[in-house]
Amino acid sequence: FNGCSGIESLVVTEGNKKYHSANNCIIETGTKQLIVGCKTSIIPSDGSVTSIGDRAFYNCSGLTSITISDSVTSIGEYAFYNCPGLTSITIPDSVTSIGKYAFYGCIGLTSITIPDSVTSIDDYTFSYCGGLTSITIPGSVTSLGYYSFSYCTRLKNITYTGTIADWH
C-alpha cells in the first residue's frame, strides 16, 4: 500500500489463518508483527503486536501521531519512513531495537526521547527529520549508525550522558 495515504480502514476477513486485523492494523497472527498500518491505525495494546514490521507505515503521509504499545519490542526498517505528518510518537521502554531508516523523512517530528531499553541507533534512523529540534539519547545507547541524524537541520539540543563505543 506504499503511497496510499488516503487509506482509513484495514480489515482482514474473519477466519483468515495467517493474518487478522485490529484497530486498522493488519497483523501476522503467528509472529505478532504489525504488517501494515494506515493513518487511522491504533496499535493494539492487548499483546497481539510485539513488533512493527519493515515498511509498516512506509510513505503514510496522513499519519500524524502514533502510540506504540508496551508489548512492542522492535521497530522494523523503514517502519515510519517518509511520514511527514507524524508530529508525535511515544517509544515505550519495551522497545530494544529500532531499524534502519525507521523515522527517515519524518519532517514533522520536533523532539523525541529514546528509552533506556534501546542500546543502538541504526543507520539513517532519524535522517531528514528537518523539524527535529531536540533529542534525548539515553546512556544505554552505545552504538550510533551511519548518518543517524543527517540533515536534521534544526537540531539544536542533544542530551546524552553515556559513552559511544561504536560510532559510524
Answering whether pTM is above 0.75, one says: yes
pLDDT at res. 167: 65
Distances (CA, A) of 59 to 2, 62, 69, 162: 6, 9, 21, 33
The residues pairing with 20 across neighbouring beta strands, listed in sequence order, are 27
Contacts of 155 (CB under 8 A, 6+ apart): 132, 133, 134, 135, 149
pLDDT of res. 88: 82
Neighbours of 166 (CB within 10 A): 9
pLDDT at 32: 98
User: Which residues does the chain have with pLDDT short of 70?
Assistant: 1-4, 165-168
